[in-house]
Chains A and B, each alone.
Chain A
Amino acid sequence: GESVGLHLPTLSVQEGDNSIINCAYSNSASDYFIWYKQESGKGPQFIIDIRSNMDKRQGQRVTVLLNKTVKHLSLQIAATQPGDSAVYFCADGAGSYQLTFGKGTKLSVIP
C-alpha cells in the first residue's frame, strides 16, 4: 500500500531557532496534506494543511511547503519555543477522511 514517511525520527533545536521537519509521500494521487502536532498523552492537533494545487501555505509561525515533483512536504516552525516540543506527523489525505500518517518526528526544543 501507499505510505507516508518522515526522513528524521528526532530533531533537536535551540529555542528561538527555526525548525524544519520533512516528510516524503509516495501516493501520486495525493491531493491533500495535513500536519499534526501530538503532545505526550494527547490526541493529534491540526496545525496546517495544504492542497496539491498550492506550493506554499503560511500560518501563525508555521509554513508548509509542498514539492509535488519529488513528493516532498515540509513544515517550518519559526522562532521555535519550548511549547513546540512534541511529535509532528504529516498525513496524506487523498481521501477526505482516510488519512495515511507517517511515523512522526519528535521535536525537542533546547532552552
Chain B
Amino acid sequence: NAGVMQNPRHLVRRRGQEARLRCSPMKGHSHVYWYRQLPEEGLKFMVYLQKENIIDESGMPKERFSAEFPKEGPSILRIQQVVRGDSAAYFCASSPTQGLGTEAFFGQGTRLTVV
C-alpha cells in the first residue's frame, strides 16, 4: 500500500492560471479531506468528500475553488484564476470511514507557488 499519493509535489503557476491538485487515497479508503497550510500556520479544513459526493465544503472559498472525487480516479482540487494568496501547501488525507483518527493518513502535500 503506497499511502496517500499527492501530485504534483510542487506546482508553480502565474497569476490568473489554473491549478489542479490530485490526491489518490489509500487503497480501500473512500473518504477524502483537503486541508490548506499557509506558511508557518496550522492546517485549515477545506472540504470533505466521499466517492462522487461532496459531504462538507464549508472551508472552501466560495469562488475559484472546487473539488471532486469521481467514481474512478483521484480526487481533484481545482483553483481557477490563481492569486498570490493561494500560495500554500495543500494536503489531502484519506480514511476508510468518516473521521481523522488512527485510520486516517495524510499525503505529503502539494506546494503551490503563485508568481
Contacts and interface: CB of A to CB of B under 8 A. Distances in A.
B108 A97 contact: no
B58 A46 contact: no
A111 interface: no
Given A43-B109, A103-B40, A98 B98 contact: no
Query: How many of chain A's residues touch chain B, expressed as a range?
Result: 20 to 34
Query: How many of chain B's residues touch chain A, expressed as a range?
Result: 20 to 34
A101 B44 contact: yes
Per DSSP, chain A at the interface is loop
Interface string B92-115: 010100111110111111000000
A86 B108 CA distance: 15
Interface of A: 4, 32, 34, 41-46, 49, 89, 91, 93, 96-104
8 smallest CB-CB distances across A and B, nearest first, come from A101-B42, A43-B106, A96-B99, A101-B43, A98-B45, A44-B106, A43-B108, A103-B42
Interface of B: 4, 31, 33, 35, 40-45, 48, 56, 58-59, 91, 93, 95, 98-102, 104-109
Given A43-B108, A49-B101, A103-B42, 6 more contacts: A34-B101, A43-B107, A49-B102, A98-B59, A99-B100, A101-B43
